[in-house]
Amino acid sequence: GATSPGDARYLEVSMVRKSFHGVTVMEGMNFHMARGELVSLLGPSGCGKTTLLRVIAGLMSADSGDMVLGPRNITRVPAHKRNISVVFQNYALFPHLTVAENVAFGLKARGDTAGMPTRVAEALALVRMNAFADKAVTGLSGGQQQRVAVARALVVQPDLLLLDEPFSALDRKLRETMQVELKSLLRDRGITAIFVTHDQEEALGVSDRIAVMNGGKIEQFADPSTLYARPKTPFVMDFVGLSLRLSGRVIEHRAASSVIETAQGQIVAPVELPVGSMAVVGVRPELVSAVATSEDAAGTGRNRIQPVLEDAMVLGSKTILHGRAGEGDRVICELSGIRSGFVRGQTVTLDWAVEDTLAYEVAG
């Protein structure tokens, strides 16, 4: 065939446009992923994640654009012939059918019933639900219902699996267990899957790559560590993880760096931004340290600020310091373990490497 494992463009979505009642919610959407890859679509409510998922599934038609899955152009292929399975947020199980009947449903709907009992049993074994085959789905826990929904999606051996907020109905602990379980299942079987989520931790945890969406566009599409360490825009920086965030104005260049004047003093960032422009600087809180010295940091390769402490939260595995900050700013520092001795109202010295400083030009 035209595809092989690792095929970089197993799914290719090109120039997809979608509008509702004359309002465009997506325009020129391009997106592609490799075979076997696990990708998340991450973004705030209304950014278009579900729309993109539904267009790929064929549950909604695009106004224009093109989609290729493996060797097939699926743009005009009806949903039931795309060989794409969807796991919905509420699992959409049939309450009057047993677990096994729910799983068999997908095969029956396709008229693909050869060896059905064996295939249903295999699919249930994958999600460790064989013991429940003859049980009613209504008596199952949320996690068990999700496993049945996954078995039903996988029994047809889809070319692509789409999951719309698959963990949102589960409590936190179960959600984490199911994330680990589902991720290893998909990996072991080499299944290509797209998760829709608005939970950044979930996206970081389950995906090979994450497409961060905002207003119908992909702002950045990268692996979790790149997204976290090198967000391309302030939106991505704020949406994926926490950060210390200060706004200011670029006042000068030094070598390949910019000096930004903020309410907390001058910050040096390892990027060249136009002098005079407004900027946002950021740094991940675990890269910020609390130091004893109050000396000027000039020439040390570090940025140093001295905010007044608003709060120190001892969370056990970490201690979070919040400094007083102006509107739109956020002063936060994450220290590992239990750190006592910080008092509200005291002035602290916080410090981080220039090379860890993120900075972006923003509209003034």
- What residues line the site for ligand ATP (CB under 6 A)? 20, 25, 43, 45-51, 198
The nearer residue to ligand ATP, 197 or 258, going by C-beta atoms, is 197
The nearer residue to ligand ATP, 20 or 94, going by C-beta atoms, is 20
CB of 243 to ligand ATP, least distance (A): 23
CB of 200 to ligand ATP, least distance (A): 13
The nearer residue to ligand ATP, 51 or 357, going by C-beta atoms, is 51
- Name the DSSP letter for residue 45: T
CB of 225 to ligand ATP, least distance (A): 24
CB of 40 to ligand ATP, least distance (A): 12
CB of 235 to ligand ATP, least distance (A): 14
The nearer residue to ligand ATP, 48 or 70, going by C-beta atoms, is 48
Q: Which of 83, 57, 65 is nearest to 13 (CA)?
A: 65
CB of 360 to ligand ATP, least distance (A): 23
Tokens of 59: 């549950």
Tokens of 256: 């390949």
CB of 92 to ligand ATP, least distance (A): 16
**Residue 67 DSSP SS3:** strand
DSSP of 197-224: ES-HHHHHHH-SEEEEEETTEEEEEE-H
The nearer residue to ligand ATP, 45 or 118, going by C-beta atoms, is 45
The nearer residue to ligand ATP, 169 or 354, going by C-beta atoms, is 169
DSSP of 136-199: BGGGS-HHHHHHHHHHHHHTT--SEEEEESTTTTS-HHHHHHHHHHHHHHHHHHT--EEEEES-
Residue-wise burial string across 209-237, b where 16 or more C-beta atoms lie within 10 A, e elsewhere: bbbbbbebbbbbbbebeebbeebbbbbbb
The nearer residue to ligand ATP, 50 or 349, going by C-beta atoms, is 50
The nearer residue to ligand ATP, 48 or 307, going by C-beta atoms, is 48
83 CB burial (10 A radius; 0-12, 13-18, 19+): middle
Separation between Cα atoms, residue 329 and residue 342, nearest integer Å: 21
CB of 51 to ligand ATP, least distance (A): 3
Task: Name every residue whose Cβ is closer than 8 Å to that of residue 4 and which is 6 or more positions away in sequence.
Answer: 35
**How would you list the strands of the sheet with 11-20, edge to edge?**
23-33, 11-20, 64-69, 72-73
